[in-house]
Amino acid sequence: MADIENYGGTFNATQSDPTGFGRIKLWHDVEETFPGGATLLPSDDCPVGTKIPGGTPVTVKDNVPGGAGTLNGATPTGLSKDDRWMGSDGCTITVVTKGQIYEKRTLATITAAQKAYLKGSIGFINA
């Protein structure tokens, strides 16, 4: 029995302070998303393992549902809803086309020109 007493370090563990966790909400409101989202394939600009932060400007080629997407274009279709990681087979992105985003909470870079282009469909809350 002595061999299993401390197996995994959990059985005779000492008590410690409580821990907690929380989520930081990126979107205040999502009213509409692009049908089928966008599909991205690995590339030199976005290799396997790259994190694509929520709020990244996404352009869907030819406005085809689930079509090929590009990041950070001058005329985005919308903004990515949440964080995604590029896999070896690519990744899919939910594209928000109408909503309100807390702009200080995103790790994505959104230019003033992109904000102006999205005005009326995406609201930017300074929080």
- The string of pLDDT tens digits covering residues 29-43 is 999 999 999 999 999
Per residue in 62-95, pLDDT tens? 999 999 999 999 999 999 999 999 999 999 999 9
44 part of a folded domain: yes
30 part of a folded domain: yes
CB 48 within 8 A of CB 88: yes
Average pLDDT of span 18-24: 76
CB 48 within 8 A of CB 86: yes
The pLDDT of residue 13 = 57
**For a pLDDT cut of 90, what percent of the chain falls above it?**
80
9 part of a folded domain: no
Domain coverage including residue 60: 25-125
67 part of a folded domain: yes
The pLDDT of residue 62 = 94
d(CA 69, CA 60): 4
62 part of a folded domain: yes
Quick one: pLDDT band at residue 8, thresholds 50, 70, 90? low
The pLDDT of residue 124 = 97
Q: Give the CATH number of the domain where residue 62 resides.
A: 2.40.300
Q: For the chain, what is the domain count?
A: 1
